[in-house]
A and B are shown apart, each in its own frame.
Chain A
Amino acid sequence: MAEIDALYQALILEHNRNPRRHRILEPCTHHASGRNPVCGDQVDLYLRLDGEVVEDAAFQGEGCAISTASASLMVELAPGRSVAELRALFAVFEAVLHGRCAPDEVDMEALAPLAGVRYFPGRLGCAVLPWQTLLRALPPMDV
């Protein structure tokens, strides 16, 4: 049985209480709004890109502890990363959440405290909402 403490780890609760970079970013080069119509969670994501590299990131929004902490962790780790790196990290994060690989098989980096969400299928949407919003904010991938 999944323990509730696996979901609400201390770091998640702390990010929920004190979300990082929780503001409008001005000026920004990229912005997107995301909304989960099921629960009403809402996130506005702001990015300043220098070429392919995120120079700065911030978010605003209203949501549950999981979506807020996920957004906070995301904008905290994003600056200095390339768009490709962020896409790759999200792919790892999603693979863990959907049970395609175990958290200890991959490097989730700063997202590791969110690994417990995989035991709570009803909450996967909360964890990925900020990341889906990030992908929408980014320029489309070259194929």
Chain B
Amino acid sequence: MSAVEQSVAVATRLDPHALRRDFPILAREVHGRPLVYLDNAASTQKPQAVIDAELNCYRRYYANVHRGVHTLSQESTAAFEGARGRVRRFLNAPSEQEIVFVRGTTEAINLVAHSFVAPRVKPGDEIVVTHMEHHSNIVPWQLLCERTGAVLRVVPITDAGEFTVADVEAALTPRTRFLSLVHVSNVLGTVNPVREIVAAAKAHGVPVLVDGAQATPHMPVDVQALDADFYAFSGHKVYGPTGIGALYGRYDLLAEMTPYQGGGDMIRSVSFAGTEYADPPARFEAGTPHIAGAIGFGAAVDYLMEVGLERIAAHEAELVAHAAEAVAAVPGVRLIGAPRQRAGAVSFVMKEAHPHDIATILDQQGIAIRAGHHCTEPLMERYGVPATARASFGLYNTREEVDALVEGLHKVNRLFGLGT
């Protein structure tokens, strides 16, 4: 690399210390120590731009959206629909009409199960998921199976926490009607080869939903390149507000689907003789939406696009690799899974201390991690652990914070009698 190239590389490198100033909460202390927030897979902190977007909505132009003639309603509608446009750009979806605002990934999956899959399955038909799914991508399908007599099939994973395209293909049968899988595991951090899997499923005529809740914060996502039929993610995991998320769905599929909920805003005309539904996405957005939340969500994805998803991915890849190595080197620590492609999270157990004890001791040092089953009980069972400790990273985390985590784990060992 030439000196010029090098200086360009350095100049474009993400500086987490500078970005931290965008997040007011990161200035606070916990138990007298600077906050080290490593629970980003559960939820991310909010930059000032997101806080301002929501605040300005309520302070300056808030009113209910759509069909309003007065100025505030028009301004709110413009901001709300503008957010839809930002989310479209974030996913590189072909059209804004393919972006459905939902409460979050969970609702997106339930919507697809209810409105797309349920009408298409008969008793004995099969839905395929993988062993590393979050409960939100298991339970909606179990409910659907109970109602329809369909059967849930599960793609197994290796000890490293991976599955291959061939593993998925092996689970597809002539009766498979749908594949729903996670892009990035919230526990293992595994980045799944989604593009290849979607291609394989399509070759079998199987439509696919990708749960992108843990992928969207960490890497550029292009739904056209992935060729996914549906892609779901949550605002609060991409530094936006809670209670808002988006479902991308191919327009031709959305157009065939029946409504998820009935109410206002999702109809073209209502009479007691019969009701005509609105076109997507309005058809799936019954009731007054989370207006300020959607506007904050739009500000959040704008923020990420401004920082640059490629730069975020590069920074985090380095950070997570360092974390996996440094945490694994602490005596008594066992990492859960060893995926070749990892993003966002490192899960582990310790010989001497239960994950909840680890989390409490770290919290006393200002370090926030999560302990528990992370809404993935089947995965915990797969690894024979009741719970794990999970450190998960975001764009504002630093190498020094990883080192603080490691020092905290040594303290756990000291307290629990394994001197290190």
Interface residue ranges, A against B (CB under 8 Å): 1-4, 7-8, 13, 17, 38-42, 62-66, 68, 120, 122-123, 126
Most buried by A among B353, B371, B386, B417: B386
**Option from B32, B356, B373, B417 in Cβ contact (under 8 Å) with A1:** B32
- Given A40-B386, A40-B387, A41-B386: A7 touches B372 (CB 8 Å cut-off): no
Q: Check A65 against B354 for contact (C-beta < 8 Å).
A: yes
Q: Check B415 against A39 for contact (C-beta < 8 Å).
A: no
Kindly list chain A residues whose C-beta atoms are within 8 Å of the C-beta of B355. Answer: 39, 64
**Option from B353, B372, B415 in Cβ contact (under 8 Å) with A40:** B372
Is there a chain A Cβ closer than 8 Å to B60's Cβ?
no
Q: How far is the CA of A131 from the CA of B123 in the complex (A)?
A: 45
Is there a chain A Cβ closer than 8 Å to B416's Cβ?
yes
Kindly list chain B residues whose C-beta atoms are within 8 Å of the C-beta of A68. Answer: 354
Q: How far is the CA of A46 from the CA of B380 in the complex (A)?
A: 26
Instruction: Report the nearest A residue to B32, measured CB to CB.
Output: A1
Q: How far is the CA of A123 from the CA of B360 in the complex (A)?
A: 8
**Option from A4, A40, A123, A126 in Cβ contact (under 8 Å) with B380:** A40
Q: How far is the CA of A112 from the CA of B387 in the complex (A)?
A: 28
Kindly list chain A residues whose C-beta atoms are within 8 Å of the C-beta of B360. Answer: 4, 7, 120, 122-123
Kindly list chain B residues whose C-beta atoms are within 8 Å of the C-beta of A13. Answer: 415-417
Kindly list chain A residues whose C-beta atoms are within 8 Å of the C-beta of B373. Answer: 39-40
Interface residues of B in 25-69 (CB under 8 A from A): 31-32
Q: Check A4 against B386 for contact (C-beta < 8 Å).
A: no
Most buried by B among A1, A3, A40, A42: A40
Most buried by A among B357, B363, B380, B416: B357
15 contacts between A and B (CB under 8 A): A7-B360, A8-B357, A8-B415, A8-B416, A17-B417, A39-B373, A39-B387, A64-B354, A64-B355, A64-B357, A65-B354, A65-B357, A66-B356, A122-B360, A123-B360
Instruction: Report the nearest A residue to B354, measured CB to CB.
Output: A64
Apart from the given pairs A40-B377, A122-B360, 7 other A-B contacts in the complex at a CB distance below 8 Å: A1-B32, A4-B360, A8-B357, A17-B417, A38-B372, A39-B386, A63-B386
Q: Check A126 against B356 for contact (C-beta < 8 Å).
A: yes
Is there a chain A Cβ closer than 8 Å to B305's Cβ?
no
Interface residues of B in 371-412 (CB under 8 A from A): 371-373, 377, 380, 386-387
Which 4 pairs of residues, A with B, have the shortest CB-CB distance?
Answer: A64-B354, A40-B386, A64-B356, A40-B387
Interface residues of B in 312-371 (CB under 8 A from A): 353-357, 360-361, 363-364, 371
Q: Check A65 against B353 for contact (C-beta < 8 Å).
A: yes
Q: Check B31 against A1 for contact (C-beta < 8 Å).
A: yes
